[in-house]
């Protein structure tokens, strides 16, 4: 009986999500972010407000509060990025998370979903339970062909959004070493995580056999370690997904002779 009920509920849910007039949603994003939801990536659609910032065909701001710098304008981000209000940004914990967004309530809306990545915060975006301040490129991408500027002129839109896995077409995780790093203090921006897209914990191990040491979130996607003693390269970095808890190790990814301001590519990713 219980199995039959579960099967029926599953079929009803799938029917709801396939047909927009009966789609599954919540007006309040707090439901999506409850403890019962954190262990998985949601596939339901939710309501949010949407605006845009930066140039009409631009990438919002140069890197934003997540610390991604100029990579936001280059593949695989390709300017399809967004700032979000506090309920989604969560003090930087959601930097790198991927979402589908779509608009349906304006005559210039295509209704087709567009994938965006969180790269910035919008502290003043608090009029809705969730808010996306999209790059001009991402906002215009929700429009019918040839109507991007008409949509950008519409002002604040009501859109739908869904959390989805990130997929960067085989690109591996990269580590940008912060300019302030030295042999005793190490800070790094972790970028291009596939799957959940955001990290709950990051740890570092050098060649001194002291084991894994927890790094702290400095801000956005920047993680730091005040080592207290000289770090012995090469350095390995272990990342733990915030949602799935899946651990991934980039062994010896920071080599001997590493330099602040350099980017080092790993051989691993979550998908």
Q: Given this model, what pLDDT does residue 58 score? A: 60
> Residue 217: pLDDT above 90?
yes
What pLDDT, in 10s, does the model give residues 98-133? 999 999 999 999 999 999 999 999 999 988 889 999
- Do 198 and 128 lie in a common domain? no
DSSP 38-62: TTS---S-EEEEEEEES-TTS-SSS
Q: Are 103 and 159 in contact (CB under 8 A)?
A: yes
What residues contact residue 196 under an 8 Å CB cut-off, 6+ apart?
Answer: 41, 97, 165, 166, 241, 242, 243, 244, 246, 270
Q: In this structure, is residue 116 part of a structural domain?
A: yes
- Do 141 and 70 lie in a common domain? yes
What pLDDT, in 10s, does the model give residues 165-206? 999 988 999 999 999 999 999 999 999 999 888 899 999 999
Segment 59-81 mean pLDDT: 87
Q: In this structure, is residue 78 part of a structural domain?
A: yes
Final residue of a domain: which of 104, 136, 164? Answer: 164
- Mean residue pLDDT across the chain: 84
Look up the domain containing 137 and give its range: 21-164
Global model pTM greater than 0.85: no
- Do 140 and 261 lie in a common domain? no
- Do 91 and 125 lie in a common domain? yes
C-beta atoms surrounding 125 within 10 Å:
22
Q: Are 102 and 160 in contact (CB under 8 A)?
A: yes
- Do 50 and 134 lie in a common domain? yes
> Residue 6: pLDDT above 70?
no
Segment 33-62 mean pLDDT: 68
The count of structural domains within the chain is 2
């Amino acid at each position: 009986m219980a199995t039959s009920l579960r099967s029926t509920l599953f079929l009803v849910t799938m029917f709801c999500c396939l047909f927009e007039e009966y789609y599954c949603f919540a007006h309040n994003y707090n439901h999506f972010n409850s403890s019962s939801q954190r262990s998985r990536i949601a596939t339901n659609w939710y309501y949010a407000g949407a605006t845009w910032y930066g140039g009409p065909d631009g990438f919002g701001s140069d890197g934003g509060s997540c610390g991604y710098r100029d990579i936001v304008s280059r593949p695989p981000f390709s300017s399809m990025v967004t700032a979000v209000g506090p309920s989604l940004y969560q003090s930087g914990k959601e930097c790198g998370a991927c979402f589908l967004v779509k608009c349906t309530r304006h005559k210039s809306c295509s209704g087709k979903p567009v994938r965006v990545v969180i790269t910035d915060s919008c502290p003043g975006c608090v009029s809705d339970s969730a808010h996306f301040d999209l790059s001009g490129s991402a906002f215009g991408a929700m429009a019918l062909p040839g109507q991007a500027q008409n949509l950008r002129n519409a002002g604040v839109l009501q859109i739908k959004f869904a959390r989805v896995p990130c997929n960067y077409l085989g690109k591996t995780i990269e580590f940008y070493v912060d300019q302030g790093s030295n042999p005793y203090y190490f800070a790094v921006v972790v970028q291009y995580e596939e799957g959940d897209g955001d990290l709950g914990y990051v740890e570092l191990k050098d060649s001194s056999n002291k084991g894994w040491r927890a790094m702290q979130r400095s801000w956005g996607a920047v993680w730091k370690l005040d080592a207290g003693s000289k770090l012995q390269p090469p350095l390995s970095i272990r990342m733990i997904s915030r949602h799935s808890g899946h651990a991934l190790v980039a062994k010896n990814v920071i080599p001997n002779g590493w330099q602040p301001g350099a980017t080092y590519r790993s051989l691993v990713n979550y998908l």
